């Protein structure tokens, strides 16, 4: 089993196989429109534009499981991303990334790239650690917050997990190494 064995609905409702992206480097991200990390959409778009001709594809999966920060419909999400951040990378149907209804792709991603903690030197990482500890949600490999990013090589292997506070620009060297 690998990333290319999964299917997902696009934000427009079309079911596609992720094998469509076979041979590309993928950055799979759970996103939200009303989060402190939402400006990462702009950085993700820049990363996509910079490397798409060399084989990078960013895949955005909206999710409303963290602070109800993605309340809109697929159409509202799509419009928001285009108008506010000029997003042209593929967006998918709003999904769950944790729990009994989580999308199988995210079950696979979190199994392949376990949670290793937040950077203690990062102010946002420190705040997330404190908040999740208080809520009893820091243990385990589940997605911890919006904008968790998974890097997948051209063969479909998950090679990295970057937590919410990690800026997309900071992932560029890892992306370049795979292109």
Neighbour tally for 149: CB within 10 Å:
25
Q: How far apart are CA 123 and CA 75, in angstroms?
A: 34
Strand blocks (E) in the chain: 7-9, 15-17, 25-31, 56-62, 149-152, 158-162
Paired strand residues for 92:
10
**Per-residue DSSP letter, 166:** S
Neighbour tally for 132: CB within 10 Å:
15
- Catalytic, 63? Answer no
Q: Which of 35, 47, 97, 109 is catalytic?
A: 35
The catalytic residue positions are: 35
């Amino acid at each position: 089993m690998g990333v290319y064995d999964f299917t997902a609905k696009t934000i427009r409702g079309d079911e596609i196989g992720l094998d469509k992206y076979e041979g590309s480097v993928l950055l799979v991200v759970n996103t939200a429109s009303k989060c402190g990390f939402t400006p990462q959409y702009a950085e993700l778009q820049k990363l996509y534009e910079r490397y798409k001709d060399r084989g990078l594809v960013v895949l955005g999966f909206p999710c409303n499981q963290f602070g109800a920060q993605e309340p809109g419909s697929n159409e509202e999400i799509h419009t928001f991303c285009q108008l506010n951040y000029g997003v042209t990378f593929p967006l998918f149907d709003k999904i769950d990334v944790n729990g009994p209804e989580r999308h199988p792709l995210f079950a696979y991603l979190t199994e392949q790239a376990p949670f290793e903690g937040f950077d203690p030197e990062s102010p946002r990482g420190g705040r997330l650690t404190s908040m999740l500890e208080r809520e009893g949600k820091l243990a385990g490999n589940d997605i911890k917050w919006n904008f968790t990013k998974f890097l997948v090589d051209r063969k479909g292997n998950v090679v990295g997990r970057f937590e919410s506070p990690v800026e997309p620009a900071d992932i560029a060297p890892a992306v370049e190494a795979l292109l």
